[in-house]
């Protein structure tokens, strides 16, 4: 059996992670970090009352900063920061 073969999600569910060979954009990576934290890794964020923890707020702020920098770049208002 080929272990590199992609596993399919259970019926009725979509895959949540791209294949390992796919490189996400910096904006997508920042969003993925936030979603992974808040939906999977953090018990505080997963509470029914919807309260977010300080780490989630930081991850979301990072996502917004990276997304806004990308939009400014696309609009011709600013160069991308280093590493993007």
Is there binding between residue 70 and Zn ion (CB under 5 A)? no
Is there binding between residue 53 and Zn ion (CB under 5 A)? yes
For Zn ion, the closer CB: 21 or 51: 51
Is there binding between residue 45 and Zn ion (CB under 5 A)? yes
Instruction: Using alpha carbons only, give the angle 75, 81, 84 rounded to the nearest 5 degrees.
Output: 90
Stretch that binds Zn ion, among 15-23, 24-32, 46-54, 70-78 (CB under 5 A): 46-54
Maximum Cα interatomic distance, the chain, rounded to a whole number of Å: 51
Determine the length of the chain: 84
């Amino acid at each position: 059996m080929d272990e590199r073969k992609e596993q399919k999600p259970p019926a009725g569910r979509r895959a949540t992670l791209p294949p390992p060979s796919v490189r996400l954009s910096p904006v997508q990576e920042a969003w993925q970090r936030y979603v992974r934290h808040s939906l999977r890794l953090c018990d505080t964020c997963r509470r029914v009352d919807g309260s977010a923890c300080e780490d989630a707020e930081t991850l979301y702020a990072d996502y917004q900063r990276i997304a806004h920098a990308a939009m400014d770049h696309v609009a011709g208002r600013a160069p991308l920061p280093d590493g993007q």
